């Protein structure tokens, strides 16, 4: 299992609710969470098979932006 981290513009629980159905249905996502209290609004995704570009594309479809934290 690998952990992917992203800087996002997901700022509140309503924003998180907008991305929830997309990440919950995304095949390969074992778990995810957004730290809206962190200055960078960090999205953490646990996955066996997905790459950062897969998550970035999924987040973009919801109208938000994600940038991988390396």
Please state the domain extents for the chain: 2-68
Range 2-68: architecture per CATH: 2-Layer Sandwich (3.30)
The mean pLDDT of 10-21, rounded to a whole number, is: 96
pLDDT value, residue 12:
94
Q: What is the DSSP string of the chain?
A: -EEEEEEE---SHHHHHHHHHHHHHSTTEEEEEEETTSTT-EEEEEESS--HHHHHHHHHHTT--EEE--
What's the confidence (pLDDT) of residue 6?
A: 98
- Measured between alpha carbons, how far is 48 from 60 in angstroms, rounded to an integer? 21
pLDDT 10s digits, 16-65: 999 999 999 999 999 999 999 999 999 999 999 999 999 999 999 999 99
């Amino acid at each position: 299992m690998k952990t992917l981290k992203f800087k996002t513009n997901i700022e509140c629980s309503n924003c998180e609710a907008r991305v929830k159905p997309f990440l919950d249905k995304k095949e390969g996502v074992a778990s995810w969470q957004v730290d809206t209290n962190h200055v960078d609004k960090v999205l953490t995704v646990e996955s066996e098979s997905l790459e950062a570009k897969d998550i970035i594309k999924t987040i973009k479809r919801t109208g938000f932006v994600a940038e991988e934290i390396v």
